[in-house]
Structure 1
Amino acid sequence: MCAKVTSIGLKGMEGYRLHVEVRTFIGNDSIRIVGLPDAAVKESKERILSALRSLGYTVNGQKIIINLSPSEQKKSGPMFDLPMAIGVLLSLNELDISIPENHGFLGALSLDGGIVPVEGMLPAVLAAKKLGIKRLYLPYDSKLPVLHFESLEIFYISTLNEVIENLEGRRKSLFTPKAVEVDIHHSESFIDFNQIIGHQGIKRALEVAAAGGHHVLMTGPPGCGKSMLAESFPSILPPLSKEAQLEMIALHQLSGTSYPNANNPPFRNPHHSASGISIIGGGTYPKPGEISLAHRGVLFLDEIAEFPKKTLDMLRQPFENGKITISRTHATLTYPASFILIAAMNPCPCGYAGSNTHYCTCTPRQTQTYTNRISGPLRDRFDIQLKIQPVNLEIEIKKREKSSISIQQRVETARTRQYERYGKELCNSRASYDILQKTTPLNREQQHLIHQLASKKNWSNRTQIKIIRLARSISDLEGETDITNESIQEALTLR
């Protein structure tokens, strides 16, 4: 008899419907798995045999062939143990039931018939939802949030026997985990804006960046506060939506790394000695890099000029597209990489060019060579470019600073306006020029001003569009329906 069971295969974050086809013949005791399985999948036959025998089933005198379809896709990991075991029982007529094609199975088997979670289950569950799976059997993982979807019924199981009894109608109730309430406020590890003295203009620029998801380049001498401002930036970002939380956890699962508080936007701060593969992602079977782990959050590159030029130029594609495609011999995978880049650098090798307190020892040629480490195309992709100077503590310490919570509320309100205007979770920095023109077009006076300045300063088309996006974010912060003249003037100063 030939049996067919549905599971979910993964190709990066993208999933596809995987059919486990099982056929049994009378012959020598053997199990053969075909369909481009890797070593972990091939080892499944030993786990399946041991689990079935522990439950009293026998496969003596049977030759079993298991095909993982589509056969041209490479399969990896022990996630298909459970559907293969169910397929074997169906093929041997040990289960006299009919399993609908929109019922899926995920999980690895232990030798005694238990079902254990594996890495990559969460992206597989998200893929199952997109593929129209109506019911999914999988083991409970306490490290993951409790999943609830309207269109997908999830059954948590712990043993193969529980699955069999449920399929046969002998067990109706299965394990139901309790949802745990998590504090949605930001972690105290982030620096609050009220702890940073001065830099009012810089804080305003970062507020605009947070509201519209804009990239920021900060240039200034050592000790002026660049790193502290960047590390405080996540504290003014709104908490992640449920969908964004699941995406973030799924990416961390695929990379094999632990993830922080799921409610907070991720903050990644790789050292400048990090390799291009660790930042972009890669490997024989490509895994997510730092830019994907910063998805829906912040990537902070301190001393960006010290990073290899080749590595920095690799950022140009995800800057624009919000995703990264990694091509290797064994696979070509695409991962999401929609992040806010905060970069900081010194103005010259010694760091004191233009300083009022220190003498710069660099020659003009040395300064030019240092700044050229960031290529023109990459620099042009930054929405906001800031020059920072040290503050006078005696004057600024007397002023009252705004807290991150008050700024975060303004940012969250501005984000809500954008989502309602575009009809989806899209920030101004990712909105195309066509969308901007349809939703909030500039008037003739504003168009003439930008075109005049672009002609005078030789601005690229990208720069002009970024100014419009910045002006839109500033207007959203001020609660304006249309782009105002004042917001355009402020956007020009930020560029």
Structure 2
Amino acid sequence: MLAETFPTILPSLSHDAQLEVISLYQLAGEKIESGHPPFRHPHHSASSVSLIGGGTHPKPGEVSLAHRGVLFLDEMAEFAKKTLDMLRQPLETGKVTISRISSTVTYPADFILLGAMNPCPCGYLGSRTRYCTCSPKQIQAYRNRVSGPIYDRMDVLLSLEVIDFTKETRVSESSETIRKRVEEARRKQYERYGKEITNGRVPFELLMEKSPLAKMQQLLLQQWASQHQWSNRVQTKIIRLARTISDLKGTEEIADESLWEAMTLRWMKTYTKQQATAR
């Protein structure tokens, strides 16, 4: 439900972005409601061709149809590992290149990837009300279906717990309120870099030129990176995320609180079999 409502907090597409998206959908022979960021939700049985694109007569895949929008992979661990690993190029470069004997085609694929998966094959690891029947070996094999390089390309890793619907819940903000804040943050980023590009795509050198980290912030990031064995790519993503959090909060520089929040969003709660039994 969270993934399906995610597009409601995204700004409407600009004129140029709409033209890009419409062109891709025309190539794929599909229709789209113009003005709104696309939302694609392929089934986990989807082939690599349907996800990435290609075929005898190459056409855009799901990653390109999600351009300027959201690609949601539910039950992410159920996708073929080879297919998931093919997401590396579009996640890194914002485009996908399909090579055939007669020609090579490049399609734009700048999307927000959302993935959801259970903590274990049975889905009850860490539950307070159900008992997990999976062995440690099964749990590790299940998690390894999503490779380390794909995890490295994720900005945020979250572990969600079961919600008790018998208790009263309160919504603090509407999608419209959040969308206005996102629109303002996007505007700041476009002004900062002088073109329609976000913190997630701007060259890292330019990001550091416009928003350098303070010395104490650099030391803090290095300490956490050493403790959690974060790669250089993960550390770069944390800085980009901290800059975005600061934009959403309206601060000109990367705030200490924003960097701390970005680092904690990379820490995903994982239960071992022994911890789950103890609970």
Q: 1:437 aligns with which of 202, 208, 231?
A: 208
2:152 corresponds to: 380
Q: Identity across aligned pairs (percent)? A: 61
1:236 corresponds to: 9
Q: 1:287 aligns with which of 46, 50, 59?
A: 59
2:262 corresponds to: 491
Q: 1:403 Cα deviation (Å)?
A: 1.1
Q: 1:380 Cα deviation (Å)?
A: 1.1
| In 1, Cα distance between equivalents of 2:171 and 2:53 | 43
Q: 1:396 Cα deviation (Å)?
A: 4.0
Partners of 1:265 and 1:296 within 8 A in 2: yes
Q: 1:485 Cα deviation (Å)?
A: 0.3
Q: 1:395 Cα deviation (Å)?
A: 3.6
Q: Which amino acid in structure 2 is aligned with residue 490 of structure 1?
A: E
| In 2, Cα distance between equivalents of 1:423 and 1:271 | 38
* SS of equivalent to 1:296: coil
Q: 1:343 aligns with which of 108, 111, 115?
A: 115
| In 1, Cα distance between equivalents of 2:101 and 2:56 | 7
Q: Is residue 242 of structure 2 the alignment partner of residue 476 of structure 1?
A: no
1:130 corresponds to: none
Q: How many correspondences in the alignment?
A: 266
1:360 corresponds to: 132
Runs of 4+ in 1 over 6 A off after TM superposition: none
Q: Which amino acid in structure 2 is aligned with residue 240 of structure 1?
A: L
Q: Which amino acid in structure 2 is aligned with residue 455 of structure 1?
A: S
CA offset digits 1:59-86 (Å, max 9, x no partner) = xxxxxxxxxxxxxxxxxxxxxxxxxxxx
Counterparts of 1:133-148 in structure 2, within 5 Å, are none
1:300 corresponds to: 72
Q: 1:392 Cα deviation (Å)?
A: 2.5
Q: 1:330 Cα deviation (Å)?
A: 2.2
Q: 1:457 Cα deviation (Å)?
A: 2.0
TM-score (norm 2): 0.93
Q: 1:456 Cα deviation (Å)?
A: 2.2
Partners of 1:273 and 1:307 within 8 A in 2: yes
Counterparts of 1:42-57 in structure 2, within 5 Å, are none
Q: 1:255 Cα deviation (Å)?
A: 1.0
* SS of equivalent to 2:157: strand
| In 2, Cα distance between equivalents of 1:485 and 1:324 | 36
| In 1, Cα distance between equivalents of 2:256 and 2:167 | 32
| In 1, Cα distance between equivalents of 2:220 and 2:86 | 34
| In 2, Cα distance between equivalents of 1:463 and 1:396 | 37
Q: Which amino acid in structure 1 is aligned with residue 12 of structure 2?
A: P
| In 2, Cα distance between equivalents of 1:424 and 1:406 | 25
Q: Return closer, same or farther for 1:334/1:400 CA change in 2, 3 Å cut-off.
A: closer
CA offset digits 1:124-153 (Å, max 9, x no partner) = xxxxxxxxxxxxxxxxxxxxxxxxxxxxxx
Q: Is residue 68 of structure 2 the alignment partner of residue 314 of structure 1?
A: no
Q: Which amino acid in structure 1 is aligned with residue 115 of structure 2?
A: A
Q: 1:377 Cα deviation (Å)?
A: 0.7
Q: 1:339 Cα deviation (Å)?
A: 0.2
Q: Is residue 224 of structure 2 the alignment partner of residue 453 of structure 1?
A: yes
| In 2, Cα distance between equivalents of 1:470 and 1:309 | 27
* SS of equivalent to 1:333: strand
* SS of equivalent to 1:249: helix
Q: 1:295 Cα deviation (Å)?
A: 0.2
| Structure with the largest fraction of strand | 1
1:428 corresponds to: 199
Counterparts of 1:161-240 in structure 2, within 5 Å, are 228-240=1-13
* SS of equivalent to 1:385: coil
By relative contact order (CA 8 Å, sep 6+), the higher-ranking structure is 2
Partners of 1:284 and 1:329 within 8 A in 2: no
CA offset digits 1:98-125 (Å, max 9, x no partner) = xxxxxxxxxxxxxxxxxxxxxxxxxxxx
1:328 corresponds to: 100
| In 1, Cα distance between equivalents of 2:226 and 2:34 | 46
CA offset digits 1:416-459 (Å, max 9, x no partner) = 11111111111111122211111110011111111122122221
Q: Which amino acid in structure 2 is aligned with residue 421 of structure 1?
A: R
Q: 1:247 aligns with which of 15, 20, 23?
A: 20
Partners of 1:285 and 1:328 within 8 A in 2: no
TM-score (norm 1): 0.53
Structure 1 unpaired stretches of 5+: 1-227
Partners of 1:286 and 1:331 within 8 A in 2: no
